[in-house]
Amino acid sequence: MSKVPYEVYTEEVEALSVLSPEGEIINKDKMPNLTDDQLKEIMYRMVFTRTWDDRAVNLGRQGRLGFYAPVSGQEATMVGSEYALEKDDFVCPGYRDMPQIVWHGLPLYQAFLYSRGHQHGGQIPQDVNVLMPQIIIGAQILHAMGIAMGYKLKKQKHVAITYTGDGGSSEGDFYEGLNYAGRFKLPVIFFVQNNGYAITTPFAKQTAALSIAHKAVAAGIRGVKVDGMDVLAVISAVQEAAEIGRKGEGATLIEAVTYRFRPHSLSDDATKYRTKDEEGEWSEKDPIARFAKYLEKKGLWTEEDTARVKDEAKAKVNEEIKKAEQTEKMTVPGLIDSMFEVTPKHLEEQKADFQ
């Protein structure tokens, strides 16, 4: 094994890009192999996700949802990373990662129920390989690591993917997950959406590392930095990481540099820590506008298509929130029963008290 000077780890890592902001292919070697129909489906999902996000923010302000974490601006990282997976792969999300688990198979009305605190929101269909969003920052990283170990022990050619933000990369669970995955060469993808802020804390104040991707070095796994506003670059990076995992060649840490156009949550005021100039600069890199330019040049997408998808998304969201609101209300006895195959005696007594 050749010796590498330490200085190499203090050099900047260039983010992988496939599309220019003008929608031109600038990296043919990393262009994912996608049909025209697949390209249109990806665009459909991105436009749908932003429209859903617009509606969900309003629903949250109306009190019709509970906690909701906005996602607009992160459609390339969310839609692109999930699209690069197979149905049997497992998705372990953080609390902002609803789009990934919905596109992986969770019914949308259940996502709304989860936000409303209803137990049925977490009753995942048998054939959908997702966990519910983890509220504890970074805990989902350990869950994905465990699932990946299961795949390895069973010699199954699947991968687990887990998501966190730049703030999550400062948690102990993050380092534990990377270290264990590196030691046992687990088929897992650690996907960090670096939005530049952990709530109000800028990235530069979280770590002395030049990038999150650098942190893969100490764990002995691959580290990749990708342009998170470029959906084709995201798909390329995740496809490659998944292939490596399926071959038994270990884990990958992907840092996707992105920018969320909305605040951290509905109770956050981003104007207190982000400038209009910064927001304007990133708005020019809008992942949907960027991908649309590429598709329009290929004759695959028009403004009319965008309008159509928005209308479909609004109708679907209205239908699904109505279904969520009409779901039978929770009861304490029902909650207890849903937690146990055979309810313990002392809880049967508590159920009787409530009834």
- The residues assigned a catalytic role are 260, 264, 273
Q: Mark out the alpha helices in 185-297 (DSSP H runs).
A: 216-219, 231-246, 276-283, 287-297
Among residues 317, 179, 324, 304, which one has the least CA distance to residue 251? 179
CA distances from 178 to 221, 222, 250 (A): 8, 10, 11
CA distances from 5 to 2, 95, 210, 211 (A): 10, 39, 17, 18
| Parallel, antiparallel or unpaired: strands 252-257 and 201-202 | unpaired
Question: What CA–CA distance (Å, rounded) separates 184 from 201?
Answer: 33
264-273 CB burial, b ≥16 within 10 A, e <16: beeebebeee
Look at residue 257 and give its three-state secondary structure. Answer: strand
Dmax (CA) for the chain in angstroms is 71
CA distances from 341 to 4, 311, 338, 344, 352 (A): 55, 43, 8, 9, 18
